[in-house]
Chains A and B, each alone.
Chain A
Amino acid sequence: MIKVKINGQEQNWDGDPDLPLLWFLRDEVGLTGTKYGCGQALCGSCTVIIDKQAVRACITSVSDVVGRDVTTIEGLHPTGDHPVQKAWRQLNVPQCGYCQTGQIMQGAALLMDNPKPSHDQIREAMAGNICRCGCYQRIENAVHLASTGV
């Protein structure tokens, strides 16, 4: 039995310890805000935050996160009003929205690390997150807006 902490809550897992965290979150815990896009750390849809770092849940196994705090989009802010989330809404960022939770988690992690990123730094830090709808211009501006206070 493995015990892991997701959004402050303890979760037990008695199955395959190598199960990717992504599927544990989505299928076993029911936290479906974390999305599948590639399964190979190529797209960022599955981004969660572990110890202030953006992590791809699709290549992280459940056993890897034992004893660490995993934050998913559902736990980013108690009322969903993290500055990045607010900036996102202010700029009407999403199109289909599927990639957006991963983008928001990546953006939030960036601001933990670098509260005032330049546009170039944003473009670099967010380059691991694909948006097939092509919302990049607004994503970039929303991260910037979040960094200046919303």
Chain B
Amino acid sequence: MSLEQFSKRDVAPGYIFYNAEERPQSGWEFFKRGFSRAIKGELLVGLKIVLVEMFKRGNTHTVSYPQEKLAIGPRYRAIHKLLRLQESGSDRCIGCGLCEKICISNCIRIETKLDKNSRKEVSQYTINFGRCIFCGYCAEVCPELAIVHSSDYENASEQRAHYGLREDMLTPLDEFKANKQQEFPGFGALSDDADSFVKKTPLAY
């Protein structure tokens, strides 16, 4: 195995160096950059578009949020939900860790342990929504259809890091008992013709 990663002692492992445009060094260089950016007139071009659109009539494409809300499509990818098993009501999530692995913003973290019945128990499941880009990869990779997206897009927060915990995301029991847990038809859901891909395994019983 390559030992190179262990030889960079001044930065955290996995640190990537980015060669950006060079910073101006002197006052003169700063002035030159500022001037050249200013006379390009980009600022005025933008202003013009805004002003023109502002005064056009019959041109409203927006709704008066929050008094008015648009209907969201069922496959929209907003804040995650963890679903329960239809039969038993226990967590669908088996703690395989695939969502954690596939997540490109590295914002899912789960904790598993051996429970009293010698099964794998998911003791905690967190998503940092401040980092999540709602790509839907987790929902797609999940073999159990356990982690899915809901249409709950109102997730403003006072902090940049905003953690959703297992208890926040898991379908509440009363909702589950009232039969209100809904399947997610988006990424990761079974396609309509899924049955036709199944090859039967012979059984000796």
Q: Do A and B bind each other?
A: no
Chain A interface (Cβ within 8 Å of chain B)? none
